[in-house]
């Protein structure tokens, strides 16, 4: 294996681990890892490859959550299916933007996510009753909006899906993490298909990323079940990492002006 192959696998392990552990926000690291660690030169190729790898990794990580009963399928499928249209539109818009400008926008998004991860959450009532029509309406609207954002940046969007599912339906955090992976995978496949039509997917790197993501995701999902009470701390630590990566990305991108 070349150095690039090793870094691709290691990057997949890190992204899969974060996806399995915190559900949301983990996939946003995939693009900078491909660009600055693996060495992919074209930002559009990085986004298209990331979308495919994150999608497959999310679906694989979904299995242990589903077996443990952590997926509320009605809300999860509604969110995912509605968001397909948003992801298709968002990815088409993203392909039309110059690579450097896209990376600047991506860096700014990472800063927003990092800030959101530092905010403390309020206690949420948890119930196992069927999701109401009003809640499903909220899930539908959120699915379309998050799908658009996911497609534009080639990210899973779990950092928005998890809190959205919690506050719209009252499901527990661990259920929202498991349910979010349905949408993360669906949005990623939609984006990857659109980017592949333009030749913006590095298939071998994606395969190596996925291989690492399987191992990392399994470890992350196992650990998530044990550390659900420390989830806020995990988010805050991860947010600091995102902020550092975002600042590095912005400096690199703006230096190219």
**pLDDT over 60 (residue 31):** yes
Residues 46-63 have a mean pLDDT of 86
pLDDT higher for 233 or 153? 153
What residue numbers bound the domain in which 211 lies?
3-254
pLDDT (0 to 100) of residue 56: 86
**Helix, strand, coil shares of the chain as percentages rounded to 5?**
80, 0, 20
pLDDT (0 to 100) of residue 49: 93
pLDDT band at 257 (very low <50, low <70, confident <90, very high): low
pLDDT digits (tens, 9 = 90+) for 104-113: 998 898 888 7
User: Measured between alpha carbons, how far is 195 from 58 in angstroms, rounded to an integer?
Assistant: 18
- The per-type count for the chain, helices as H runs and strands as E runs, is 10, 0
Closest to 8 in 3D by CA, of 28, 32, 33, 44: 33
Q: For the chain, how many structural domains are there in total? A: 1
Closest to 218 in 3D by CA, of 10, 12, 16: 16
Joined together, the tokens standing for residue 217 give 């995701």
pTM greater than the 0.75 cutoff? yes
User: Measured between alpha carbons, how far is 164 from 65 in angstroms, rounded to an integer?
Assistant: 18
């Amino acid at each position: 294996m070349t150095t690039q192959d090793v870094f691709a696998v290691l990057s997949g392990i890190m992204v899969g681990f974060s996806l399995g552990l915190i559900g949301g926000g983990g996939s946003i690291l995939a693009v900078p890892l491909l660009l600055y660690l693996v060495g992919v030169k074209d930002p559009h190729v990085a986004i298209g490859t990331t979308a495919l790898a994150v999608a497959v990794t999310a679906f694989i990580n979904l299995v242990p959550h589903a077996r443990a009963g952590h997926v509320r399928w009605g809300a999860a499928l509604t969110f995912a299916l509605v968001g397909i249209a948003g992801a298709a539109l968002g990815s088409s818009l993203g392909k039309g933007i110059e690579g450097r400008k896209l990376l600047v926008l991506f860096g700014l998004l990472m800063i927003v996510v990092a800030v959101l991860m530092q905010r403390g959450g309020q206690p949420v009532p948890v119930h196992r009753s069927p999701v109401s029509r009003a809640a499903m309406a909220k899930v539908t609207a959120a699915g379309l909006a998050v799908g658009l954002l996911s497609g534009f940046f080639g990210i899973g969007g779990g950092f928005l899906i998890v809190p959205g599912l919690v506050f719209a339906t009252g499901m527990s955090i661990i259920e929202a993490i498991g349910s979010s992976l349905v949408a993360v995978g669906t949005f990623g496949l939609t984006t990857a298909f659109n980017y592949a039509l333009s030749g913006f997917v590095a298939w071998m790197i994606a395969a190596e990323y996925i291989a690492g993501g399987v191992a990392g995701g399994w470890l992350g999902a196992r650990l998530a079940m044990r550390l659900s009470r420390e989830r806020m701390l995990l988010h805050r630590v991860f947010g600091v990492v995102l902020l550092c990566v975002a600042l590095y990305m912005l400096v690199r991108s703006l230096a190219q002006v």
